[in-house]
Amino acid sequence: MNSKTAKLISPERVSELLDCYGADPEAWPDDERATALALIQNSTQLKNLQTEARQLDRYLTAGDIMQRAGKPVDMKLVSRITANLPAQDKPGQNLMRNNRAALKRSLFDFSSWTGMIAASIAVFAISVSIMELQSTSGARQQSDVSQAELDYWMWQQVTGEVESDDEEPLTMMVLFEPD
């Protein structure tokens, strides 16, 4: 680690490093190691934290059950793996397969379906609202037209511009009856 790549860190960060990675500087991130070691050297509190972390490291190391399980490489297994290798993918083939799998997963994923259902309900509700608005507006327009026709008919009756229509509805006639 040279000083050019060393990162400036605070004592709190050193405490975090001990908390996450333990007491062994080899386990710390490369770019923080040198500064962390310098800070520990100048701080009793950090030294104590490192001692505490070392106790846990020992506990973990002593408890590694694989110390007994570890053995030299099993060459029979190596041969088994390398004996019948399948054909390699073409470049990009695996990525495409992953993308297809992701798409398939998303189609069968409950959460995405929930989202789609919610979106469908929202779209349906908006459509119904728009249709409702249109029908109300249409009715109003129709009602406006009827009013216009009525006004025109009244105008015709008053001015006598148009020959009377015997088949006018009675209701229209009633409108002109004196009180």
Partner 1 sequence: MLAVAQGDQAAFTEIVTRHLTPVVNFAWRYVGRRSDAEDVAQEAFIRLWRHAPDWEDQGFSVRSWIYRIAYNLCIDELRKRKPVTPVEDEVSLASAEQPDEDLYRDQRQQQVAAALNELPERQRTALVLCVYQGLSNRDAATVLDVSIEALESLLSRARRMLRNKMTEEAQS
Residue 93 touches partner 1, criterion: CB under 8 A: yes
Residue 110 touches partner 1, criterion: CB under 8 A: no
Contact 70, 77 (CB under 8 A): no
Residue 170 touches partner 1, criterion: CB under 8 A: no
Buried b (16+ CB within 10 A) or exposed e, 22-55: bbebeebeeebbbbbbebbeeeeebeebbeebee
Q: How far is the CB of 101 from partner 1 (least distance, A)?
A: 12
Residue type, 86: P
Residue 140 touches partner 1, criterion: CB under 8 A: no
Strands (E), the chain: none
Contact 11, 46 (CB under 8 A): yes
Using CB under 8 A, which of 3, 41, 77, 169 touches partner 1? 77
Using CB under 8 A, which of 8, 69, 158, 174 touches partner 1? 69
Of 58, 48, 29, residue with least CA distance to 13: 29
By CB under 8 A, which span of 88-96, 109-117, 155-163, 165-173 interacts with partner 1?
88-96
**CB closer to partner 1 out of 70 and 169:** 70
Six-digit token pair at 94?
A: 């695996």
Q: Is 177 helix (H, G, I), strand (E, B) or coil?
A: coil
Buried b (16+ CB within 10 A) or exposed e, 137-151: eeeeeeeeeeeeeee
Using CB under 8 A, which of 38, 64, 146, 152 touches partner 1? 64
Residue 86 touches partner 1, criterion: CB under 8 A: yes
Using CB under 8 A, which of 66, 158, 170, 174 touches partner 1? 66
By CB under 8 A, which span of 92-100, 106-114, 124-132, 141-149 interacts with partner 1?
92-100
Q: Where does this chain bind partner 1 (CB under 8 A)?
A: 16, 19-22, 27, 29, 52, 55-57, 59-75, 77-78, 80-82, 85-95
